[in-house]
Structure 1
Amino acid sequence: MEQITELVPDGALVPLLDQVNGWLQAAIAALPRLGIALCVVLLTALAVKVAHGIIRRIGSRARMRRNLIDVLQLLSSVTFWLIGGLIALTVVFPTVTPARALTTLGLGSVAIGFAFKDTFENFLAGILILLREPFQIEDYIHCEGVEGQIEAITIRDTHIRQTDGQLVVVPNAELFHNPVTVRTDRDVRRATLICGVAYGENVDDAREVIEAAVRKVDLVRDDVRDIQVFAKAFGASSIDFEITWWTGSRPVDIRASRDQVVASVKAALDEAGIEIPFPYRTLTVNEPIPVAPVRGDQAER
């Protein structure tokens, strides 16, 4: 005490001790409020845990996707902690009203929103995609030049595995703002093939042969919709038929069924004696081409 008295000027020690004493009294007086605020925080944590369990059970019974359950749990956590934090803040600092706290929080949120605009845009787009479910995991989609199978949908981005094995991570905002083609939205998809026959062949006979050949293919789903074979156009060296049929919606299903249809149609047309012509070219010259005889010694050379 003597050393402190020597360091502090005369008359200044008493106000300093009074100030420290006031701080201690204020802290002691605030202990009940701190205890209540701590209880509010613990109750908030318990409520969050209970809400997560309820959402998990409801999601499992409703067969919701895991990512959608995570989103609902995240939203419940943010809601409970926001309410619990405001209550605890007003308990510790009685002069801070919930309206004033929300105003301060709103101003801070605006500043943070401008700083992380793209991040929040992808976050909100991810929530809307998971809630609306325009496509699901394992669907094949096409969007802005990216085509492949969806492997994961997170809050921020979507993982798409292309058919060549490469992984593309697409921000959710891109999928939300741009048109997305979901190729596997249904179990079947239509495939198209163009086949030409010679001009000398009978069109009706060729149509019947082609249709019968397509029906023999195992991957063709004629039980869903009927096969269609139409004479489409007069080609350069053939009459072109447009062949359409339904098969599986995956890209490998389209390629495999087209392979079998081409082989079946080719074999059927060959068996029926219907020609699939090669392109013909006719050359016309304005003047006769002189032809000179070749002597034997030149021919040997």
Structure 2
Amino acid sequence: MEESFNLKESLEGITTKLISWLDSIILNLPNFLLAVIVFILFYFIAKYTGKLANKLLKRSVKQASIRQITVKVIKAIVILIGFFIALGILDLNKVLTSVLAGAGVLGLAIGFAVQGTLNNTFSGILLSFLPEIQIGDWIESNSYAGAVYEINLRNIVIKQSDNNYVVIPNSKILEEPFKNFSHTSRSRVMLECGVGYSSNLEEVKKMTIETIGAHFKQKENEEVEFMFTEFGGSSINFVVRFWTDVQKNRDILIAKDIAIIEIKKTFDKNGINIPFPIRTIDFSNTLKTEKE
């Protein structure tokens, strides 16, 4: 009997609590709707503020990555302002105070849990302001090569020559070496080749330098360099180095393509042989058979 009475009291208590909550929801429904409208309004304000900030920054900031990160920070600040105003409309001052008070403790806990993510975030901020790497630059890093498509707070996105995108964590870019082809307008191209042992080496050197110089104009303090490097197994090998306009890896491939075609034409015209590897088989030890 006593257990039945306690159960009845518990059900009445739960019912009373639910009714009080329902009354609170009905009473606060206008404030809740107003808070939602304010938050949505601030979301659109953040969107258009970001566009306006981007237009203004284009006039004074040339680096696209700096503009992107600045716009994202501005939008985040505007949305946070709208969030706190919405909490104020809901008369959740105590909740707001608790959120701000617990942010420090929660921040420490989350910080230990997501150290890698925070590392990438700070690395993304540094990369955004780093002049050595910008949107559109052609880079090589972490065994990948491509044009920088995006720099955000988590990773850097590059578009490879095969039209595929590669996502690399920001910390990997800062911790590993990277090569930027777009940072300089000129680059030295190195091409290796070989000629037959019967060739006149002085003539080979002269005609190679003249051929490269005719197709790749060398500017001030630039020159075509030619050096024989070794006595190979079937050829005397050399390397020719020359300067050309390079903004990405494809420009180097194009320069090598032109250089190989023109050197081959010149060598064919002057009877210079470019030998391929030769293997000689010796049959001097013949096998003899005797018939009894």
Same fold (TM > 0.5) = yes
The answer on 1:231 being equivalent to 2:221 is no
Corresponding residue for residue 118 of structure 1: 116
Letter in 2 for 1:207: K
Alpha-carbon distance in 2 for matches of 1:162, 1:95:
52
Between 1 and 2, higher relative CO (CA 8 Å, sep ≥ 6) is seen in: 2
Larger Rg: 1
Displacement of 1:280: 3.4
Contact 2:190 2:242 in 1 (8 A): yes
Specify whether residues 66 and 290 from structure 1 end up closer, same or farther in structure 2 by C-alpha distance, changes over 3 A only: closer
Corresponding residue for residue 147 of structure 1: 145
Deviations 1:131-177 (A, max 9, x none): 12321122111111121111222222222111122211222222122
Displacement of 1:52: 6.2
Alpha-carbon distance in 2 for matches of 1:185, 1:78:
32
Alpha-carbon distance in 2 for matches of 1:74, 1:260:
45
The answer on 1:281 being equivalent to 2:279 is yes
Deviations 1:238-293 (A, max 9, x none): 211111112232222111111111111111112222222333333335x553799x
Contact 1:227 1:246 in 2 (8 A): yes
Contact 2:65 2:135 in 1 (8 A): no
User: 1:90-169 residue pairs with structure 2 within 5 A?
Assistant: 104-169=102-167
Find the residue that maps to 1:185 and give its secondary structure: coil
Alpha-carbon distance in 2 for matches of 1:164, 1:50:
35
Alpha-carbon distance in 1 for matches of 2:273, 2:198:
9
Find the residue that maps to 2:167 and give its secondary structure: strand
Alpha-carbon distance in 2 for matches of 1:66, 1:239:
49
Displacement of 1:84: 10
Cα RMSD, aligned residues only: 4.1
Alpha-carbon distance in 2 for matches of 1:94, 1:162:
51
Specify whether residues 239 and 53 from structure 1 end up closer, same or farther in structure 2 by C-alpha distance, changes over 3 A only: closer
Alpha-carbon distance in 1 for matches of 2:158, 2:46:
33
TM-score computed with the length of structure 2 as normaliser: 0.68
Alignment gaps of 5+ in structure 1: 1-37, 293-301
TM-score computed with the length of structure 1 as normaliser: 0.67
Percent identical? 27
Displacement of 1:229: 0.9
Displacement of 1:68: 2.1
Alpha-carbon distance in 2 for matches of 1:203, 1:187:
33
Alpha-carbon distance in 1 for matches of 2:176, 2:160:
19
- Number of residues paired by the alignment? 254
